[in-house]
């Protein structure tokens, strides 16, 4: 564990957030009146059709782009910790940096001493099983290993909130299941607040305490579905749980119309 | 070029020289204009021994290197800035796009008018010729970078300075080297051209004077030296490229 900062987890509160992009004619409403909150230490999934503004929402929460309206409350910054760490889909590492330098990347901008930086990065790389690859270049790793580097980079900043944008979307199913195991294990140790965007019903149910379903564009929160499966969630026991089938059906019920609507626009 | 096909890279120039040698010796090609390579090599050896050739090479190489640094360093810096800052791009891009295709050798008389016939004008024509080439390549390198890299940097707290050093510079590096390699070829072409037009030393001068006094072998020596310099420059830049980008898959 990291001793410098007291373990603290924070809630996320989103109120009436909208995002409007200028378009060729008029404007495009990506998000409309999105409101929800995530409790401290909760693992919350967001699911929705392609193009519903899931990524836009996460980028607003991460402070990459401003919201057009509404407010986002993420607790104020604590020295030595990042408020929210974003894990990206697809390209997730900087290919010109080594694994170690990638893992240290967030700390580099946080007034953390080089020795402390190194220690924290190595610690997290060990947790994701990459301590043997500190000097490797990202291109020498598999897609799954690169994604673990980006998880280590996020965890090294000791974030209060972890924002994940379809981090396993580019992996094959087997590797995706392994990384889900790993993420669950890491989360069970630290209990960060997690907001996890995915388009996979399975992934949302397997990982989260609660699933928020988004509508097609303009994206809103359509409904929320609590996931009351017991933890730890072994793959085989989750899949055999009758509750799993019921949840799957319930989520698809909520999602199907939105996916159809997204196809027609 | 590696492994089993490497010998092809050696065989093709040797084969060409052999055909040339035969054509010239049998008189199919007029040996007054196409002296056999063996004669050219002999002339080259003589010119090296009497110290004439090293002087000309030294003069040209010095002009190329100084001009190359003076042209490419500001071009890389401005190219990075233009790639990162949209207003700067809007401001300067039309000018750069318009000046880029002008053959710089065509304004050489103007440069001589301002800087005189000496070293300054030679260095300036090299620097000017490569500046826009490196500038546009560098800018394209930044613009071609995936947005994801910038998003990673911003999401992890990088300010403008860190984005410059950890994303723009390393990200554009492959394209910067593409620009530098093209520029090195241009620098050679342009310095020989400039020395043809007005100089009392250098490889271009050697070629032109040899032609005027009908020392055709010496003229070919000048051409050969230019080719070898170009080849060596490519090797040097390839080596520098690997040194600058150890992270690239090989």
Each residue's pLDDT, cut to its tens digit, for chain B (250 residues) gives 557 788 888 888 899 999 999 999 998 989 888 999 999 999 999 999 999 999 999 999 999 999 999 999 999 999 999 999 999 999 999 999 999 999 888 889 899 999 988 899 999 999 999 999 999 999 999 999 999 999 999 999 899 999 999 999 999 999 999 999 999 999 999 999 999 887 889 999 999 999 999 999 999 999 999 999 999 999 999 999 999 998 888 7
Give pLDDT, residue A8: 60
Which pLDDT does position A265 carry in this prediction?
64
Residue of A nearest to B169 (CA): A96
Tokens standing for residue B41: 């090599």
> Quick check: is B8 in a domain?
no
Whole-structure pTM value: 0.86
Asked whether the beta carbons of A45 and A223 are under 8 A apart, the reply is no
Give the CA dihedral A81, A83, A88, A92, nearest 10 degrees.
Answer: -20
B214 touches chain A (CB under 8 A): no
From the number of C-beta atoms within 10 Å of its C-beta (0-12, 13-18, 19+), residue B101 rates as: exposed
Domain ranges within chain A, ordered by starting residue:
12-263
Does B16 reside within a domain?
no
Find chain B residues with C-beta within 8 A of A109's C-beta.
156-159, 162
- pLDDT at site A2: 46
Taking an 8 Å cut-off on Cβ atoms, the answer to whether B247 and A64 are in contact is: no
pLDDT surpassing 60 at residue A4: no
Q: How far is A245 from chain B (nearest CA, A)?
A: 36
Question: In this structure, what are the phi and psi dihedrals at residue B136, rounded to the nearest 5 degrees?
Answer: -70, -35
Residue B75 within any structural domain of the chain:
yes
pLDDT at A81 > cutoff 90? no
CB-nearest to B157 from A90, A94, A110 is A110
pLDDT of residue B129: 94
The structural domain count of chain B equals 1
The answer to the question of residue B101 being in a domain is yes
Identify whether B234 is part of a domain. yes
> For A5-9, A80-84, B244-248, which range has the lowest pLDDT when averaged over its residues?
A5-9
Token pair belonging to A170: 């580019």
- Which residues on A lie below 8 Å from B156 (Cβ)? 82, 85, 105-106, 108-109, 153, 157
Structural domain harbouring B154: 57-244
Kindly determine whether residue B171 and residue A96, on different chains, have CB atoms separated by under 8 Å. yes
CATH homologous superfamily of domain A12-263?
Answer: P-loop containing nucleotide triphosphate hydrolases (3.40.50.300)
State whether A96 and B157 contact (CB < 8 Å): no
Which ipTM value was assigned to this complex?
A: 0.88
Q: Do A153 and B156 touch (CB under 8 A)?
A: yes
Question: Which residue in B has a C-alpha nearest to residue A98's C-alpha?
Answer: B247
Question: What part of B 192-211 touches A (C-beta under 8 Å)?
Answer: none
* Residue B6 within any structural domain of the chain: no
Cβ-based contacts of A60 with chain B (< 8 Å): none
Which residue in the set B148, B245, B248 is minimally distant from A90, CB to CB?
Answer: B148
CA closest to A58 among chain B residues: B155
Through-space distance between the first and last CA atoms of chain B, rounded to whole angstroms: 12
- Asked if A139 and B249 come within 8 Å (Cβ–Cβ), the reply is yes
A231-252 per-position pLDDT tens digit: 888 888 888 888 888 999 999 9
> How far apart (Å, rounded) are the C-alpha atoms in residues A182 and A191?
13
Return the residue of B nearest to A106 by Cα.
B156
CA distance B6 to chain A (A): 26
Contacts of B166 in chain A (CB under 8 A): 94, 97, 105, 108
Which CATH number belongs to the domain containing residue B189 in this structure?
1.10.3720.10
Using the predicted structure, report yes or no on whether residue A141 has a pLDDT greater than 50: yes
Can you say how many angstroms the Cα of residue A264 is from the centroid of all Cα atoms in its chain?
28
Q: Which residue of A has its CA nearest to B173?
A: A96
Which residue from A190, A143, A187, A188 is spatially nearest to A167, judged by alpha carbons?
Answer: A143
Give residue A7's pLDDT: 52
Q: Do A94 and B149 touch (CB under 8 A)?
A: yes
Q: Do B170 and A63 touch (CB under 8 A)?
A: no
Q: Does residue B161 belong to any structural domain of this protein? A: yes
Closest-CA distance, A92 to chain B, in angstroms, reads 7
Burial-class residue A183 by CB neighbours within 10 Å (0-12, 13-18, 19+).
buried
In a domain, B12, yes or no: no
Any A CB within 8 A of B12 CB: no
Is the model more confident about A170 or about A103? Answer: A103
Environment class of residue B97 by beta-carbon count within 10 Å: exposed (0-12), middle (13-18) or buried (19+)? exposed
Q: How far is A140 from chain B (nearest CA, A)?
A: 8
- Non-local (6+) Cβ contacts of B4 within 8 A are none
- Among A101, A144, A154, smallest CA distance to A124 is for A154
């Amino acid at each position: 564990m990291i001793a410098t900062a007291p373990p603290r987890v924070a809630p996320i509160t989103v109120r009436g957030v909208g995002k409007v992009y200028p378009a060729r004619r008029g404007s495009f409403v990506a998000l409309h009146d999105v409101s929800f909150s995530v409790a401290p230490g909760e693992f919350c999934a967001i699911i929705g059709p392609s193009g519903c503004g899931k990524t836009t929402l996460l980028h607003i929460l991460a402070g990459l782009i401003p919201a057009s309206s509404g407010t986002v409350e993420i607790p104020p910054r604590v020295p030595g910790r990042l408020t929210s760490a974003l894990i990206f889909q697809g390209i997730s590492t900087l290919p010109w940096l080594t694994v170690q330098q990638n893992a240290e990347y967030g700390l580099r901008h946080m007034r953390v001493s080089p020795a402390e930086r190194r220690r924290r990065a190595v610690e997290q790389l060990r947790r994701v099983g990459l301590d043997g690859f500190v000097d490797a270049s990202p291109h020498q790793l598999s897609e799954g290993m690169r994604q673990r580097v980006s998880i280590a980079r996020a965890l090294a900043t000791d974030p209060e909130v972890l924002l994940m944008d379809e981090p396993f979307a580019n992996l094959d199913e087997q590797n995706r299941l392994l990384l889900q195991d790993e993420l669950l294990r890491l989360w069970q140790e630290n209990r960060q607040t997690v907001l996890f965007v995915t388009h996979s019903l399975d992934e949302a149910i397997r990982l989260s305490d609660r699933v928020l379903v988004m509508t097609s564009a303009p994206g809103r929160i359509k409904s929320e579905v609590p996931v009351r499966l017991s933890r730890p969630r072994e793959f085989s026991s989750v899949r055999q749980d009758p509750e799993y089938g019921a949840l799957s059906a319930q989520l698809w019920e909520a999602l199907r119309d939105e996916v159809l609507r997204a196809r027609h626009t | 070029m590696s492994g089993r096909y490497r010998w092809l890279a050696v065989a093709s120039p040797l084969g060409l020289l052999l055909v040339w040698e035969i054509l010239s010796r049998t008189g199919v090609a007029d040996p007054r204009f196409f002296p056999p390579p063996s004669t050219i090599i002999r002339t080259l050896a003589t010119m090296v021994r009497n110290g004439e050739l090293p002087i000309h090479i030294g003069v040209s190489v010095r002009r190329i290197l100084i001009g190359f640094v003076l042209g490419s360093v500001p071009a890389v810096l401005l190219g990075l800035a233009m790639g990162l800052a949209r207003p700067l791009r809007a401001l300067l891009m039309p000018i750069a796009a318009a000046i880029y295709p002008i053959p710089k050798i065509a304004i050489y008389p103007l440069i001589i008018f301002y800087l005189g016939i000496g070293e300054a004008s030679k260095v300036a024509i090299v620097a000017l010729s490569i500046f826009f080439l490196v500038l546009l390549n560098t800018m394209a390198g930044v613009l071609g970078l995936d947005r994801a890299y910038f998003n990673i940097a911003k999401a992890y707290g990088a300010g403008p300075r860190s984005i410059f050093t950890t994303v723009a510079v390393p990200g554009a590096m492959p394209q910067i080297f593409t620009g530098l390699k093209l520029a090195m070829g241009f620098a050679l072409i342009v310095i020989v051209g400039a020395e043809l037009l007005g100089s009392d030393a250098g490889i271009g001068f050697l070629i032109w004077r040899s032609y005027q006094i009908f020392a055709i072998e010496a003229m070919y020596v000048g051409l050969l030296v230019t080719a070898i310099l170009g080849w060596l420059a490519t090797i040097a830049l390839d080596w520098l490229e690997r040194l600058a980008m150890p992270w690239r898959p090989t």
